[in-house]
Amino acid sequence: MRATTLVIVLGLALAGGAVITSVRAAPETIGAAPVPLKAAATFVSITDPDARSVALFREAGKVIQSPRCLNCHPVERRPTQGDTMHPHNPPVAGGQSGHGVPGLPCLSCHGVANVPTWGDSIRSIPGDPKWALAPVEMAWQGRSLGAICAQIKDPARNGGRSIEEIHHHMAEDHLVGWAWTPGEGRQPAPGTQGQFGDLIRAWIDTGAKCPKA
């Protein structure tokens, strides 16, 4: 069987909910303890609003720069995967739309929910009804937290989104929420989506200031 055919067959099987018995990839972090996230109220003791705003975004940055988020925000439009952020296996491209390329869309392999697997390395295949890469305007893997912050709040570089739309996306979007329920074999994003949303809300309310780096 040709390699391209094998990839497509594998993808169709996963989309249908099949359980894969022998998938090999780089080792993942299995059973790691959740990483905590400070509550927004923790920062009220910082009296300087600008300094508090920066501190809030740095805390939110623990989520933004976690593998659960960065894997789906690649500048090269090719997703990475796992806690080690290794190249996606099999090799795929998100295309300009973020939903894959003609003939091999993301939903060929990623279904509407996580799919458990059997194997030594991969314990589950991630899934969500909206599974896709982040839009090209929101690609920032490899950039500093300060650069990501500036991009997030700049409508000229974030796809024309207002700061309130950014908050709604981070605090309530179902696909973003997947980062806290990523399936067996993956470290969840720090804290909870509610805590993350509160940090972003407080960051906005204190002027949405960005770290210098």
User: pLDDT tens digits, residue range 94-109?
Assistant: 988 899 999 899 999 9
Q: Which residues pair with 81 in a beta bridge?
A: 86
Give pTM, 2 decimals: 0.84
Residue 212 belongs to some domain of the structure? no
d(C-alpha 70, C-alpha 78), whole Å: 11
Residue 210 belongs to some domain of the structure? no
Q: Six-digit token pair at 129?
A: 């009804």
The predicted-structure confidence for 9-39, as pLDDT tens digits, reads as follows 333 333 333 333 333 334 444 456 678 999 9
Residue 213 belongs to some domain of the structure? no
Residue 32 belongs to some domain of the structure? yes
> Of 82, 77, 71, whose CA–CA distance to 92 is shortest?
77
Q: How many domains does the chain have?
A: 1
pLDDT of 3 reads 35
The predicted-structure confidence for 117-150, as pLDDT tens digits, reads as follows 876 667 899 999 999 999 889 999 999 999 999 9
Residue 167 belongs to some domain of the structure? yes
d(C-alpha 184, C-alpha 188), whole Å: 9
Cα radius of gyration rounded to whole Å, the chain: 18
Is the separation of the CB atoms in 176 and 170 below 8 Å?
Answer: yes
> Of 100, 49, 104, whose CA–CA distance to 77 is shortest?
100
Residue 48 belongs to some domain of the structure? yes
Residue 11 belongs to some domain of the structure? yes
The predicted-structure confidence for 147-180, as pLDDT tens digits, reads as follows 999 999 999 999 999 999 999 999 999 999 999 9
Give the residue numbers spanning the domain of 114. Answer: 3-205
Q: Six-digit token pair at 35?
A: 């990483």
> Of 65, 98, 58, 75, whose CA–CA distance to 203 is shortest?
58
Is the separation of the CB atoms in 15 and 107 below 8 Å?
Answer: yes
114 compared with 13, residue with greater pLDDT: 114
